[in-house]
Amino acid sequence: MSYQSSASSASVSISPIQQMVASCSGAIITSIFVTPLDVVKIRLQAQKTPFPKGKCFVYCNGLMDHICVCVNGNSRAWYKASNHFNGTVDAFIKIIRQEGIKSLWSGLPPTLVMAVPATVIYFTCYDQLCTALKARMTDHTQEAPLLAGGIARVGSATVISPLELIRTKLQSQKQSYRELTDCIRSAVEAEGWLSLWRGLGPTLLRDVPFSAMYWYNYERAKSFLCQHYNTSEPTIRISFLSGALSGSIAAIVTLPFDVVKTRRQVELGELQAKNLSCQGSTFKCMSRIVAEQGFSGLFVGFLPRLIKVAPACAIMISTYEFGKAFFRSEENGPTDSS
């Protein structure tokens, strides 16, 4: 039996609930490992260029990018650098010594409220869609991950986008839920229901191509490595290497979209926090970046993005595959997952 057919049969041997549990576990573990890197990055960024009140910055927990709004000038806010740091390693040491190790996960709980459900929806939908598409695309099964990855990302991003808007407003204005409801109702009455998905365009511009390329390359790399090591099931090592490689390729190719998305996200966040109308478009944002910095401006942040994305993808997918292998072993007997 070929690897592809064995993988397809394996993917349907566990239930969607078990896939959701596996992806939830992977999401939490990924956040635990990756969040400290972004916390240190933000503290170093705040040291170089202090965040004024109302300024937005992007915070990543390894699963999703979130917009954070600086609500006041309090130096004790978690994103404020309370000491002078001489680089990344020095920042890690000083934060742990002076603020405790828990500070490396500052800002994580609120972002997990959206990141975990989004990841669960994304990974579960991908597996279900990929299995269904492979059953129908009998002559083009290798392209199934490409379609399934893109469609799954559209679904999860569409569900989460209004929640990100709500979170930004809650964070910036300290509104009660009743005041927030009135604010959202007035925005919908003035600009329509689509106003709740205003930040969706730049998100999809980056995330859909990234997801399509990521899953296509991941499945190809996993299949190649399984054949190379003569195994029908991916080990943790195979999943980790495949995830890191495919994540790196997708991150490099979609870097210009990431630059535009981040700039647009910050602009929208600052306007939404002030209840101002959001003018302009993603294309205008891209044109402005090129006009100000040249085409090279679309490729800034290459190394930081690669350092963040590659391990996050590797940890998430290897944990997810391990979880699925665990459930399969419970139902079908032990499997090799070493």
pLDDT digits (tens, 9 = 90+) for 6-25: 344 444 478 999 999 999 99
> For residue 275, what pLDDT is reported?
63
Amino acid at 260: V
**CA distances (Å), origin 183, targets 14, 189, 267, 336:** 43, 10, 19, 54
d(CA 154, CA 313): 18
pLDDT digits (tens, 9 = 90+) for 101-128: 988 998 788 778 888 999 999 999 999 9
> For residue 245, what pLDDT is reported?
97
> For residue 249, what pLDDT is reported?
96
> For residue 210, what pLDDT is reported?
96
Instruction: Decide if 15 contacts 133 (C-beta within 8 A).
Output: no
> For residue 137, what pLDDT is reported?
87
pLDDT digit string (tens) for the chain, length 338 residues: 333 433 444 444 789 999 999 999 999 999 999 999 888 888 887 887 777 777 788 888 888 888 787 766 555 677 776 678 888 888 899 989 988 898 899 878 877 888 899 999 999 999 999 999 999 988 889 999 999 999 999 999 998 888 777 776 666 555 566 666 776 777 677 777 877 787 788 889 889 999 999 999 999 999 999 999 998 889 999 999 999 999 999 999 999 888 888 887 777 777 766 666 666 677 788 888 889 888 888 888 888 888 889 999 999 999 999 999 999 888 775 544 44
CB under 8 Å to 11, separation ≥6 — which residues? Answer: 127, 130, 131, 324
d(CA 252, CA 258): 10
Instruction: Decide if 40 contacts 106 (C-beta within 8 A).
Output: no
d(CA 66, CA 56): 10
Amino acid at 142: Q
> For residue 5, what pLDDT is reported?
38
